[in-house]
Amino acid sequence: MARGSDDALAGQVLSATDRRHLLPEAVLWDMDGTLVDTEPYWIRGEHELVEAHGGTWSHEQALALVGNPLPESARLLQRAGVDLPVEEIVTYLLKRVGEQVREQVPWQPGALELLSALRAEGVPCALVTMSYRALAQPIVELAPAGAFDVLVCGDEVEHGKPHPEPYLVAAERLGVDVTRCVAIEDSPAGIGSARAAGAATLGVQAVVPVRRQAGLSRTPTLERVDLALLRRIAAGEVVDLMAEDDALSAGGPH
């Protein structure tokens, strides 16, 4: 091969390497509410369980459970009148959500496209969920092939979200620096977990509000998240699309 061709090839490789370095070392995904819109499935199961035991369960109570470790949620359901051991409550909820998922996996808009783009660029991804592996594994298997390199589940960690352990475990298993990762979350507990671990965090609006916080990037939907946005967040920029939308609305015609 001619010397000029060698130089051109080296330039192309260097350019690709430089672009890769601008991306996060890994993207760490929450599952329920973030990747898949399963929170209504959980809420439906909670209502059914409480009502079967003669209690009442409000939508506000259900929202308070979003992102919590399952045993903690089970204890709150006990206080609402569910006269079952924690383990049986967790088993029931997993079974009901699993039944609904098998009927239809409700991918969040933009989720599959972003997973595919990350895979194409060779960015490793981890699924970090408080759901148990029995529920999370089938969802991973229905994602684009090879989308997730690591799966960290609620029944595999000692401390659930908002403790940083789940995200620290995910980064360790991937062999990456968690502070060079971007975590994508939708719940206060999940956002707290990711930020406590040191990951740059993107909050996605789902069933509970993503409150404005110093240092937290936000978006109303994954449909507005692409590789360019993740590069900005990984580089340390706080990108608040929700605040930008609010500013545009406020400045619009009245």
**Residue 30 among the catalytic residues:** yes
C-alpha dihedral sign at 39, 41, 44, 49: negative
Of residues 6, 7, 18, 32, which has the active-site annotation?
32
Residues linked to residue 160 through DSSP beta bridges, in sequence order: none
Q: Please report the DSSP string for 142-153 in residue order.
A: HSSTT--SEEE-
What are the DSSP E strand ranges found in 14-117? 27-29
Q: Please report the DSSP string for 23-46 in residue order.
A: S-S-EEE--BTTTB--HHHHHHHH
**Residue 32 among the catalytic residues:** yes
Angle between helices 227-234 and 111-120 (to 10 degrees): 70
User: Which of 65, 61, 28 shows the shortest CA–CA distance to 189?
Assistant: 65
Of residues 7, 18, 30, 186, which has the active-site annotation?
30
Looking at beta carbons, which pairs linking 89-97 to residues 24 or more positions away fall under 8 Å? Answer: 89/49, 90/132, 92/45, 92/49, 93/42, 93/45, 93/46, 93/49, 94/70, 94/131, 94/132, 94/134, 94/135, 96/41, 96/44, 96/45, 96/48, 97/38, 97/41, 97/42, 97/45, 97/131, 97/135
Catalytic residues: 30, 32
